[in-house]
Structure 1
Amino acid sequence: MADLDGKLDQVKGDAKEALGDVTDNKSLENEGKADQLGGDIKEKLSEAGDAIKDKANEVAGKIQDARDEN
């Protein structure tokens, strides 16, 4: 879900930045850049969380396999 939130923030940020650029509104343009950055961060954190979960599941599987062998 965080991936989707991150993507939505990026798209929203792109739109704000473009609108700010067209209207020469630096505040809106900067707000759009901030939204894009926030979206990037959400996406990267979600990816990192998924990687940690995958590794934890892999380790748990190896521990279970070792127990089953004994």
Structure 2
Amino acid sequence: MSATLGKGGDLERITGINNFFKIPIPQGWDKQGMGRRFFMFPNLSLDSEEIDELMIGLLNENKRTVILVSGDDQVNSF
């Protein structure tokens, strides 16, 4: 899955979720690099307690993070 979202609805098809809030593209985006993207799916190998520890550690270490969630309950927990 790519961090670059097109208008083709790929993200919607992959996840089965119809409505996503998308962050607007900032002016000047084409004049600066964003670096590499790193995707993690911790629920594939960790239990919920390990996931919580991992997320807290990563959020404390990184200045720019995007977290995709499936519902408001997860939004409120962050």
Larger radius of gyration: 1
Q: Please report the TM-score for the alignment, with normalisation by the length of structure 1.
A: 0.26
Using the size of structure 2 for normalisation, the TM-score is: 0.24
Choose between structure 1 and 2: higher helix proportion: 1
| Higher RCO (C-alpha under 8 Å, 6+ residues apart) | 1
